[in-house]
Amino acid sequence: MVSLVLFSKSFEYVSCTFEHDQIVKQDFLAFLFIYCCASQFELKEENMNLSKNKDELLITSEDVAKLTYTKKVVEETIRVANVAFLLFQTATKDVEYKGYTIPKGWKVVLRLRYLHTNPKNFKDPMCFNPDGWNESLKPKAFQVFGGGSRICARNMLSRWDLVNPNARIMYLPSHKPEDGVELTFSKL
C-alpha cells in the first residue's frame, strides 16, 4: 500500500505517507532509547559533547556533520524500520538472472526488506547495530530512497527529521527507572 502511495500523483497524499513513515521511525527510535542502553549511552555522550561547545540548543547542518554516531543510528533506523517495502525499476538492458532473461524495458520490483535483511549485505541483519555502518556497504545494498534520477525528494529531510528529535531526547535524564523504584500509574 505504501509503495503505491509513493507513486501517486497526489502530493498531499504522498506528504501524509511521509509523515506516517516518520512517526513509525520516531516510535522505533523511542523504543531503542528505552531498551538499547549501549546506543543510548553513546548517543547521549556524543550529543552532550556537542552541546558543551555551543551556546544554543538548536542543531545546525554543521552540527549534524559532527554527529557521526547519531548518523549511524539514523541510517540503521531507516534500514530496520523502513515502511516503504518496494521499489519499481526499469531494466536498462537485457539481464540474465538465475537462468531467466529480463528483457530491456521490463519493470522490475525490488523488495527492500529482503535487500536490507540479507546477510550478504549486512552482518546480523535482524539486529539493530549502528556500528555496522563503520564498514563500507556493498554497492546498491541500501536503497531506502530509491536511486538514479528518481531518488526521493525528501531523502535528506527524512534523515534530518530523525536527527533533530534524537538530539533533543539526549538532553533528558535516563529513560529507565532505577532498580527498586516504585512506579505508579493512574488513568488520565
In tens, the pLDDT along 109-156 reads 888 888 888 899 898 888 888 888 898 888 878 877 766 666 777 677
Please give the residue range of the domain that contains residue 152. Answer: 2-84+122-169
Domain-embedded: residue 99: no
Residues facing residue 87 across a β-bridge: 110
Cα angle value 29/51/127 (rounded, 5°): 25
**Interval 35-47: pLDDT, tens:** 566 777 787 788 7
**pTM higher than 0.75 for the full model?**
no
Write down the pLDDT at residue 163.
72
Pair 86, 108: CB distance under 8 Å: no
Number of domains in the chain: 1
- What is the C-alpha separation between 16 and 33, in angstroms, rounded? 26
In a domain, 37, yes or no: yes
Q: Please check whether residue 179 lies inside any domain of the structure.
A: no
Q: Is 185 a member of any domain?
A: no
Residues 6-16 have pLDDT tens digits of: 333 333 333 33
Q: What percentage of the chain has pLDDT greater than the value 90?
A: 9
187 domain residue, yes or no: no
Q: Report yes or no on 177 lying in a domain.
A: no
